[in-house]
Structure 1
Amino acid sequence: MSGNNNAQYFDLHTNAFGFFNRVRKVVPKKGEPFWAVDISACRGDAGEKTYFDCNVVGKEAIALFEQHLANFEQGKDVVTASLVIGDLRVEQFTYKSGTKKAGQPGVSLKGRVLRIKYLKVNDTVVFNTGSEA
């Protein structure tokens, strides 16, 4: 990259459809607050689930969270979405005490919600770009 001032990087994007769980606004001690969500993405003809833990970074996606999910109630609200997840990576962790797996290693799929194409809260479609999932 010598002699070139253009930043170069590789994109890894995943298109998904799934359910939102644990919608939350994270307020760190340092830095700006941000939205986070756990996603149960459907795959295969039987709708098996793959789980992602994501931060919401796309401007339009953040606006949709602010407008439609600020009062999300876990266990009461059902939210489905078609979305684009970027920067997928695996993070290792150790299960905390108080769980059946306490002390055992685990992995989590992490990513960033870049864009929402379709958003349904309970029985109401609140956003739809009209593009395919």
Structure 2
Amino acid sequence: MNPAQSTQPTQSTQEKQYFDLHTTGIGYLNRIREVSPKKGNPFLACNIAALSGAADDVVYTRFDCRVSGKEAEALVRQYEDAVKQDQKVLISFKIGDLWADTFTYTKGDKTGQTGVSLKARLLFISWIKVNGQLVYKAEKAERPQLEQDPSGQASQGGQDDQAEATSSEDSPAPAAEASSSPKEAPRQSAQIALPETVQLSKDAPDFQERKAALKQQGYRFDGQAKVWRLPTDAAKSAIEAQHQANAQDWARSAQATA
């Protein structure tokens, strides 16, 4: 063999590797709708009110999701009527591409104020309960598995089984999605921090939409690092605006229940 020749693959021929950031949890499915953006194709969207904290003092974090997984889309459409009938549809979910979006209220008491919405893609649904009854459970072969890291962390499959076994069927649905006493209105997650940098691929189907949203949030493109960067002042302003809006919500709730 010619010494100049090599059977080893060159760096240019190796496939690119990506690191995915996924969030898993349990939450109530609501506000299912079809979205038709000005640029791009229509897509299915929904909201998830994710549960966290003690079962007797649940905190809800709301995610505005674009349904991306094919199986997830079929399941969301299947139980859309149950959601519209105000039944409690509880799901075990996996979301990805989490990012924060700011908007301006145009109606109600908050008109003119800045709000913060957590955006994500709904990738997978492990199981579904309607009014406490299990109506769907994915086969273990279908469940996405996370590779075990060097520290020996358990795979997603085992964590999901444990979450289903320990989930409380009696957890109250969020006040906006199911009827409940004003005194039992759930506490909302108030601390929402915008990431300092965001990577945005031009190949993403909603590239123009997310690009416009990042600019509205105050992000500026760093051509050298190829990322969108948020100035410190803009991050503080968005967080303070969200805290102020939450405080006003609690003040109105206290007055209503007094």
TM range (shorter): 0.7 to 0.9
User: Are the aligned partners of 1:23 and 1:72 in contact in 2 as well (CA < 8 Å)?
Assistant: no
- State how 1:1-133 maps to structure 2 within 5 Å: 3-4=12-13, 6-28=15-37, 31-45=40-54, 46-69=57-80, 71-74=81-84, 76-96=86-106, 98-129=107-138, 131-132=160-161, 133=163
Structure 2 regions of 5+ residues with no counterpart? 1-10, 141-159, 164-258
Q: Which has the higher contact order (CA 8 A, sep 6+)?
A: 1
Count of residues in Structure 1 that have an aligned counterpart in Structure 2: 130
- Larger strand fraction of residues: 1
- Larger helix fraction of residues: 2
User: Shift of the alpha carbon at 1:74?
Assistant: 3.4
Structure 1 regions of 5+ residues with no counterpart? none
Cα-Cα RMSD:
2.2
User: Are the aligned partners of 1:89 and 1:110 in contact in 2 as well (CA < 8 Å)?
Assistant: yes
Per the normalisation by structure 2, the TM-score is 0.45
**2-side partners of 1:29 and 1:90: how far apart?**
21
User: Are the aligned partners of 2:62 and 2:118 in contact in 1 as well (CA < 8 Å)?
Assistant: yes
User: Shift of the alpha carbon at 1:26?
Assistant: 2.6
User: Shift of the alpha carbon at 1:34?
Assistant: 2.1
User: Are the aligned partners of 2:83 and 2:89 in contact in 1 as well (CA < 8 Å)?
Assistant: no
**1-side partners of 2:103 and 2:118: how far apart?**
11
Query: Residues 19 and 91 (structure 1 numbering): CA distance in 2 closer, same or farther, change over 3 Å?
Result: same
Per the normalisation by structure 1, the TM-score is 0.83
Query: Residues 32 and 72 (structure 1 numbering): CA distance in 2 closer, same or farther, change over 3 Å?
Result: farther
CA deviation map 1:33-65 (0-9, x unaligned): 322111110001122100100011111101212
